[in-house]
Amino acid sequence: MEKYLNTPIKEVITRFPKVANILNEYNIGCVPCSVGSCLLKDIVEIHNLSIKEEQELMAKLAKIIYLGQSVAIPKLKRKMQSKSGELKYSPPIKKLVDEHTLIKRLIALIPEIIETVRTSPKIDKNLVLGVTDFIRSYADKFHHAKEEEILFKYFDANLDILKTMLQDHDTGRNHVKGTIKALEENDREAIAMHLNGYRELLTEHIKKEDEILYPWMDRNLSTTQVGELFSKFSGVDTTYGKEVPERCEKFVVGLEQKSAKR
């Protein structure tokens, strides 16, 4: 198994397609990942499987890879013991999770926004620009800045899961640029395509961060580093003040109220 443990997961899946089904059983989202260069041996630690789940997973993978032959199942090294139960976050990571809540409220409204864009006699430019302003001001500058400029700096920049997250951020920015360009060209379908693309991207992105990346990071941060992060995140909040989060929340609340009246 050592050979395949040190092989990028996409290569393993390509050679042994049934591996994808096994990963899905354990809610390991490597199949749709656009990068897929994480080594198989890293997946267990990142996804925080229990020792029992790890052994079950490895046995099932070995059965597929070695066609039922008897193979020694290695026990992978871990930095910290896996924990089960409800996810709990350190204070600074909890800040990021809480910020995700407002972003999720906005993306939940996107299907209705798209329908409005498609069916209104005239495109509501203020509505579309309000959405792109929220994404740029809150989701990107206020929230993603904490990840890219602070949190991610505590980890190896070459980690594939970080590369995937950063790639998602860039893809999201491109959807915003595409939305604004489409608005300038009065292209309803292009606006819809980019807004829906952003919704789909962020839905999966936030899920990966809340359930996989953040818990893994928390397990590998020292107490001192957690304190540093909380101080630095608080510094970002102070720098931005209340204007950005309050303005963006007011925008979402306004959309939710309009939606409730329909």
pTM of the model: 0.76
Which pLDDT does position 82 carry in this prediction? 46
Written as one letter, the residue type at 229 is L
48-62, 117-131, 228-242: range with highest mean pLDDT: 117-131
Q: What is the mean pLDDT of the chain?
A: 87
Structure tokens at 253: 């609340």
Sign of the four-CA dihedral 57, 63, 66, 72: positive
Q: What is the pLDDT of residues 109-151, one digit of tens each?
A: 999 999 999 999 999 999 999 999 999 999 999 998 899 999 9
Distance CA 228, CA 224 (A): 6
Which pLDDT does position 238 carry in this prediction? 92
Which is nearest to 258 in space by CA: 138, 124, 118?
Answer: 124
Q: What is the pLDDT of residues 66-102, one digit of tens each?
A: 886 777 776 665 544 444 456 789 999 999 999 999 9
On the question of pLDDT at 64 being above 80, the answer is: yes
On the question of pLDDT at 154 being above 90, the answer is: yes
% residues pLDDT > 90 (the chain): 57
| Tally of CB atoms within 10 A around 87 | 13
Domains of the chain: 2-65 (1.10.3910.10), 91-261 (1.20.120.520)
- Which is higher by pLDDT, 183 or 32? 183
Model confidence at 40, pLDDT cuts 50, 70, 90, reads: confident
**Interval 163-169 mean pLDDT:** 92
In the three-class reduction of DSSP (H, G, I as helix; E, B as strand; rest coil), residue 8 is classed as strand
On the question of pLDDT at 2 being above 90, the answer is: no
**Interval 183-204 mean pLDDT:** 97
